[in-house]
Amino acid sequence: MLANQRRDKIIAMLREDGSAKVNELSKIFRVTEVTVRQDLEKLEKEGMLVREHGGAYLKNVEDPVKNITPLDQSNLEKKESIANECIKLIEPGDIIILDSGSTTTEIAKKLFGFENLTVITNALNIALMLGTEPGIEVVMTGGEFKPPTLSLTGQKAADFFEGINVDKLFLATAGISLKSGLTYPSLSDLVVKKAMIEAAETVYLVADSTKIGKSSFASLGALSLIDFLLTDQHITESQKKIFRENEIELIIAS
């Protein structure tokens, strides 16, 4: 892996986890700790992060917590259109999982007024948003808190789903490709996503078109893990063809 690629992935991990240790990054990227420190020094000079003893943390990492808004606010128009399609799939009496993320946050915004709905989530902002809705029962997982995504992650979050059965999962991702499958910037998320998928009767992957063809750091598994891909109308015809040839059901927002 080239140095610039490694640094991009380090930033992607920090945007997911908020901070990272030098020794952990050294193991993940299979380079020396000296190399990692050089990477962090360069990224700090570029204003991307703040170094501390033994590691680094994302610049302005406290902003998402103060604003109760996930750090990633890109492509919101596309994400809102996807959320509009998701709402059509949710029925009174459903038990659903809303994964953490900006697209699933858009789904949550549209659930006001629903009756007899149970929402399980690992996203603090979604729980706060829906927690006072009289027709919605909100259940949160446990786990380690990640400020940039306002999410709970790790093995404790995954353990919550043991023995639980839900109707629908609305799953987020950082990148989708036929080669790498579903990918994420953080290793700690993989165990949680797997547990969510195992608990769900139907899995809807919600991802705007900019994530198609991209790969993030850690692979969850093949696209066969999902039942439907919900994306926006900017998906290309060639991409549609590839997904359909691989028996991936598409729902395209208007």
Task: Establish if 211 belongs to a structural domain.
Answer: yes
pLDDT digit string (tens) for 108-157? 999 999 999 999 999 999 999 999 999 999 999 999 998 888 899 999 99
Task: Establish if 98 belongs to a structural domain.
Answer: yes
Cβ atoms within 10 Å, residue 81: 20
Residues 117, 174 within the same domain: yes
What domain range is 237 assigned to? 76-252
Q: What is the pTM of this model?
A: 0.85
Adjacent-strand bridge partners of 231: 252
pLDDT digit string (tens) for 16-33? 777 888 888 888 788 898
Average pLDDT on 53-65 reads: 79
More confident residue, 246 or 86: 86
Band (84; pLDDT cuts 50, 70, 90): very high
Give the CATH number, domain containing residue 83: 3.40.50.1360
Residues 81, 57 within the same domain: no
More confident residue, 118 or 8: 118
Buried-state track 28-52, b at ≥16 Cβ within 10 A, e below 16: bbebeeebbbebbeebeeeebbbee
Lowest mean pLDDT among 40-49, 70-79, 130-139, 179-188: 70-79
More confident residue, 220 or 71: 220
Task: Establish if 67 belongs to a structural domain.
Answer: no
Task: Establish if 70 belongs to a structural domain.
Answer: no
Residues 118, 214 within the same domain: yes
Task: Establish if 68 belongs to a structural domain.
Answer: no
Domain edge (last residue) among 35, 61, 87: 61
Question: How far is Cα 119 from Cα 52, in angstroms, rounded to an integer?
Answer: 38
Question: How far is Cα 122 from Cα 67, in angstroms, rounded to an integer?
Answer: 18
Task: Establish if 34 belongs to a structural domain.
Answer: yes
Residues 246, 126 within the same domain: yes
Residues 39, 155 within the same domain: no
Residues 138, 199 within the same domain: yes
- Gyration radius from the chain CA atoms: 18
Residues 183, 91 within the same domain: yes
**Residues 12 and 174 sit within 8 Å (Cβ to Cβ):** yes
Task: Check whether 212 has a pLDDT greater than 90.
Answer: yes
Task: For residue 96, give the nearest of 184, 199, 173 by alpha carbon.
Answer: 199
Residues 99, 185 within the same domain: yes
Domain edge (last residue) among 32, 61, 90: 61
More confident residue, 201 or 43: 201
Residues 100, 51 within the same domain: no
Average pLDDT, the chain: 90
Task: Establish if 125 belongs to a structural domain.
Answer: yes
Give how many domains the chain has, as a whole number: 2
Give the CATH number, domain containing residue 13: 1.10.10.10
Residues 88, 189 within the same domain: yes
- The per-residue pLDDT for 71 is 67
Task: Establish if 202 belongs to a structural domain.
Answer: yes
Residues 211, 129 within the same domain: yes
Residues 44, 81 within the same domain: no
